[in-house]
C-alpha cells in the first residue's frame, strides 16, 4: 500500500474522524488487522481561525470547512458548479452564524450537543424547502454531529469521500 499523507481537519476532533474512517476503510478493503499506511500533519486550529477571522486567506488556501468563511467564499461553490454543473445553495446569514458557532465553539472542542444537531437539521430542512436535493457537508467537523441517519436529505460527506478516494489511490 502506498503511504497516504493527510493534512488533518482543522480541529483534532476532525483529524481523529479522518484517521478512524481511513483505517476502517482499509480494514474493509484488506481484511482484519489491516490499517492504512498514513502520516497526518495537523494545523493549529487557533492559528487557522485567527487567519480566517482576519480575512487573511493566503494562510488558508488549502483549507475547506463548512463555516461562514467557506460558505461566503466563492471558491467552493464555484468549483462545485464548474466540475459538476450543480446549482449551489447556501444557508442564509443567520444560519451561517449558527453553523459557525456550532463548529467553532462546540465541535472543535469535542462537544456534541443534541440541541445543535436539531439546529443543523432545521437548516437542512430549510434548504430542502428552497430546492436542495442533497447536502454537501463541506466541513470536517460536521459529520461528528450530523449523519445520514438523522439528515432529512442525502449527505455528501466530503470527509468520508476524501478518505475513500485516498484509499483507492493508495491501493493502486
Predicted local confidence at residue 105, as pLDDT: 92
Cell of 61: 488556501
Q: Domain of residue 122: give its range.
A: 4-171
Whether 8 has a pLDDT exceeding 50, the answer reads yes
More confident residue, 92 or 134: 92
Q: Are strands 38-41 and 135-137 parallel, antiparallel or unpaired?
A: unpaired
Predicted local confidence at residue 59, as pLDDT: 40
Predicted local confidence at residue 169, as pLDDT: 83
More confident residue, 79 or 172: 172
Q: What is the pLDDT of residues 103-152, one digit of tens each?
A: 989 988 889 999 999 999 999 998 888 888 778 888 888 888 999 899 88
Annotate the chain with DSSP letters as a single string: -PPEEEE--SSHHHHHHHHHHHHHHHHHHH-TT----EEEE---HHHHHHHHHTT-GGGGTT---SSHHHHHSHHHHHHHHHHH--------HHHHHHHHHIIIIIGGGT---HHHHHHHHHHHHHHHHTT-S-EEE--SSGGGT--TTT-SS-EEEHHHHHHHHHHHHHH-
* Domains of the chain: total: 1
The enclosing domain of 157 has a CATH number of 3.40.50.1860
Predicted local confidence at residue 56, as pLDDT: 56
Give the number of other Cβ atoms within 10 Å of residue 55's Cβ: 8
Contact 142, 150 (CB under 8 A): no
Predicted local confidence at residue 121, as pLDDT: 93
Predicted local confidence at residue 55, as pLDDT: 59
User: Across residues 64-92, what is the average pLDDT?
Assistant: 68
User: Across residues 155-172, what is the average pLDDT?
Assistant: 82
Amino acid at each position: 500500500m502506498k503511504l497516504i499523507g493527510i493534512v488533518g481537519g482543522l480541529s483534532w476532533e476532525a483529524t481523529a474522524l479522518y484517521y478512524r474512517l481511513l483505517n476502517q476503510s482499509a480494514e474493509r478493503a484488506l481484511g482484519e488487522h489491516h490499517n492504512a499506511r498514513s502520516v497526518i500533519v495537523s494545523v493549529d486550529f487557533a492559528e487557522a481561525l485567527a487567519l480566517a477571522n482576519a480575512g487573511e486567506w493566503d494562510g488558508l488556501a488549502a483549507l475547506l470547512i463548512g463555516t461562514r468563511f467557506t460558505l461566503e467564499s466563492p471558491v467552493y461553490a464555484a468549483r462545485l458548479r464548474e466540475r459538476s454543473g450543480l446549482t449551489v445553495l447556501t444557508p442564509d446569514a443567520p444560519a451561517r452564524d449558527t453553523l459557525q458557532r456550532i463548529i467553532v465553539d462546540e465541535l472543535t472542542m469535542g462537544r456534541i450537543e443534541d440541541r445543535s444537531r436539531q439546529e443543523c437539521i432545521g437548516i437542512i430542512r430549510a434548504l430542502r424547502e428552497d430546492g436542495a436535493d442533497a447536502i454537501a457537508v463541506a466541513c470536517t467537523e460536521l459529520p461528528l454531529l450530523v449523519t445520514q441517519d438523522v439528515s432529512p436529505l442525502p449527505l455528501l460527506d466530503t470527509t468520508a469521500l476524501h478518505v475513500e478516494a485516498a484509499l483507492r489511490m493508495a491501493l493502486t
